[in-house]
Amino acid sequence: MIKDLISILPQIIVLLTAMASLVFEMRHKATGSLVTLIIGLAGSAGLAITQLGTVKTAFSETFRIDDLSLWAVIILCGTGILSALLMRQELKKTDREGTLYSLVAFSTLGSLLLAGSGDLMFLILGVLINSLGGFAMAAYPKTDKATEGSIKYFVYASVTGAIMLFGLTYWAGIAGSTYIKDLSEIDSQPFVLLIGFGGMLAGLGYAASLFPFHFWTPDTFEGAPVSVAALLSVTPKIGAFFALAQVMKDLPPLLDWNLILAITAVLSMTFGNIVALWQKNMVRLMAYSTVAQAGYFLLGVVALNKSELAISGLVIFSLAYAAMNIGAFSVIQKTGSNFTYIEGLARKKPFMAVAMLLFLLSLVGIPPLAGFAGKFLLFGSAMDANYTWLAIAAIINSVISLAVYLRIIFPMFYRKEPIYSFPSSGLIKMVYTVCFIVTVLAGILLRFLV
């Protein structure tokens, strides 16, 4: 028991951080809540770094400690800190500010449980904890748009969660237990397995904004504070895809699960990029961008059991995605979500414009940025797994995505005079500077990370 607790100490630290942060909020000390969050998440990430390379399980094999779960701690704790700093800048001195920081920790904890799932119950628990925090954060402004977005988020969660629970009961029934590893011993009843797979894909696909379970995403992102949208674009997605990877390790090959995921990946990439082309709001554009990027994550999941590059690809792309997405949202938080607000930004704020340019080019996959490094590994893993057509489809969609992001890049650099001025905001600058550094260095230092 003690050994198990020590093994999951990073997750326990996040839980204690969430509770301590909430205590500070109960005493109306939002600054204390924020400081507690930063210290707790940083400590958890630091501990996870020391455990890298560990492969074991805890609590009777219900939770897995491996590269996926440990890198999830490192990436998502960093995401939580950066998002909290954006929240501080955007929502300082508002009612219940400290509650947000506690919810950041709880949402992070939900994704960490997903990333280390060794039991079907952790899939359900992780999605629930993650989603409950997201509902409250999305509705925080109490505006009509925020309420509408949060309600849509809640409704989709309720429906997909019920479908997921229904499907997973079939898996538990035919496996005789809720252990994910026991799925590998099933050698019959492919139709029942398919029901469970569909339920699981609905629940995790909703959390990851994966087509066709993404419909809550644009309205929720638009109505929520930009800092909350930044968190929701990263934390649930990485947790969900790492959970899906944990399941795919043990799913018996009675049906071609990879083909189902590959088709879903192409649909998600294509739909997200095409719909993003006609958005009139940068937050909504980035929302559909997250739908498209979800498809790229699936390349690593498809190749998981056939390529040594798959795990590395998932980890590197997750790190890159967190940096470039949080960075892009931080710039949007500074400028506002209307496209006209960024016109001439390069003349007014050259470093911010260059940082935004690199975030967007990294999302496309332009070398030598972090996004390219992640996509390079994912494309390579797909080809190793004999899914060359999927890699080609992903490359074509990367080209389409360039047209999407040029809608932001062009007005930043090709309008002669800036229209708007922006107030000083040190925390936002700190966030996009950190993201800028990670986006540049993660691609260059790839060989030291994998």
The one-letter amino acid code at 2 reads I
pLDDT band of 416, cuts 50, 70, 90: low
> 179 in helix, strand or coil?
strand
DSSP 63: E
Q: Which residues contact 21 (CB under 8 A, 6 or more apart)?
A: 33, 34, 36, 37, 40, 98, 101, 102, 105
DSSP track, 11-42: HHHHHHHHHHHHHHHHTT-HHHHHHHHHHHHH
Report the alpha-carbon distance of residue 355 to residue 112 in Å, rounded.
29
Q: What is the DSSP secondary structure assignment for residue 339, as one 8-state letter?
A: G
Give pLDDT, residue 70.
93
pLDDT in tens, 236-260: 999 999 999 999 988 888 888 899 9
Which pLDDT score, from 0 to 100, does residue 291 have?
94
98-112, 326-340, 410-424: which is most confident: 98-112
H or E element, residue 129 = helix 120-138
Question: Could you tell me if residue 427 is inside a domain?
Answer: yes
pLDDT at 214 (0 to 100): 86
pLDDT band at 17, cuts 50/70/90?
Answer: very high
Contact present, 109 and 15 (Cβ < 8 Å) = yes
Half-sphere exposure of 127 (CA within 13 A, CB side): 31
With a cut of 60, say whether residue 449 has pLDDT above it: no
| CA nearest neighbour of 395 among 380, 418, 379 | 379
Question: Does 125 map to a domain?
Answer: no
Is 297 among the domain residues? yes
Q: Does the residue 277 lie in any domain?
A: yes
**93 Rama class: left (phi>0) / alpha (psi -120 to 50) / beta:** left
Contacts of 142 (CB under 8 A, 6+ apart): none
Percent of the chain with pLDDT over 70: 97
Beta bridge partners of 64: 57
Residue 420 confidence (pLDDT) above 70: no
- Residue 419: what pLDDT? 61
Is 75 or 58 the better-scoring residue by pLDDT? 75
Query: Of 288, 299, 236, which Cα lies nearest the Cα of 265?
Result: 299
Provide the Cα torsion 150, 156, 162, 168; round to 10°. Answer: -110
Q: How confident is the model at residue 450 (pLDDT cuts 50, 70, 90)?
A: low
pLDDT tens for 431-442 read 889 999 999 888
- Report pLDDT for 46: 93
Q: How many domains does the chain have?
A: 1
The residue range of the domain holding 432 is 264-450
Note whether residue 193 is domain-resident.
no
Tell me, yes or no, whether 443 lies in a domain.
yes
Measured between alpha carbons, how far apart are the two ends of the chain, in Å? 32
Query: Mean pLDDT across the stretch 62-75?
Result: 92
pLDDT reported for residue 446: 65
The yes-or-no verdict on residue 421 having pLDDT over 70 is no
Residue 66 lies in a domain: no
Task: Tell me the pTM.
Answer: 0.93
Radius of gyration over every alpha carbon of the chain, rounded to an integer in angstroms:
21
Q: What is the mean pLDDT of residues 29-53?
A: 91
Helix (H) or strand (E) holding 57: strand 56-58
Residue 413: what residue type? F
- CA pair distance 337, 408, nearest whole angstrom: 11
59 lies in some domain: no
Check residue 447 and give its pLDDT.
58
pLDDT given at position 183: 86
Task: Please answer whether residues 104 and 133 qualify as being in contact, where contact means their C-beta atoms are separated by less than 8 angstroms.
Answer: yes
pLDDT above 70: residue 424:
no
d(CA 90, CA 240): 27
**Model confidence at 413: pLDDT above 90:** no
pLDDT of 9 > 60? The answer is yes
pLDDT confidence bin for 3, thresholds 50/70/90: confident
334 or 447, higher pLDDT: 334
Residue corresponding to tokens 């600058």 = 429
Percent of the chain with pLDDT over 90: 51
423 band by pLDDT with thresholds 50, 70 and 90: low
pLDDT at 187 > cutoff 80: no
